Amino acid sequence: MTKKILLTGFGPFAKNQENISERIALELDKLSIDEYQVQSLILPVTYFGAPKLMQETIINLNPSIVVSLGLAAERKAINPELLGINFRHSNTADNDDYIAQFETISKDSKEAYYSTLPIKEIISKLKSKGYPIELSTDAGSYVCNTVLYSTLSFIEEKKLQIPCGFIHLPNQLNDQICFDAIKEVLNVLVKEYR
Tell me which of 121, 134, 156, 168 is the catalytic residue. 168
pLDDT band at 172 (very low <50, low <70, confident <90, very high): confident
pLDDT band at 174 (very low <50, low <70, confident <90, very high): very high
In sign, the C-alpha dihedral spanning 189, 29, 5, 37 is: negative
- Note the pLDDT tens digit of each residue in 114-168: 999 999 999 999 999 999 999 999 999 999 999 999 999 999 999 999 999 999 9
What pLDDT, on a 0 to 100 scale, did the predictor assign at position 73? Answer: 86
Tell me which of 22, 144, 164, 178 is the catalytic residue. 144
Instruction: Please give the model's pTM, rounded to 2 decimal places.
Output: 0.97
192 is known as an active-site residue: no
State the CATH number of the domain containing residue 79: 3.40.630.20
Find out whether 139 and 85 touch, Cβ atoms under 8 Å. yes
Burial 49-79 (b: 16+ CB within 10 A, else e): bbbebbbebbeeeebbbbbbbbbbeebebbb
Tell me which of 81, 89, 103, 111 is the catalytic residue. 81
81 is known as an active-site residue: yes
Beta-bridge partners for 32: 37
What pLDDT, on a 0 to 100 scale, did the predictor assign at position 152? Answer: 98
Q: In which domain, by residue range, is 124 found?
A: 3-193
Report the number of distinct structural domains present in the chain. Answer: 1
168 is known as an active-site residue: yes
pLDDT band at 29 (very low <50, low <70, confident <90, very high): very high
CA 192 to the chain's CA centroid: 18
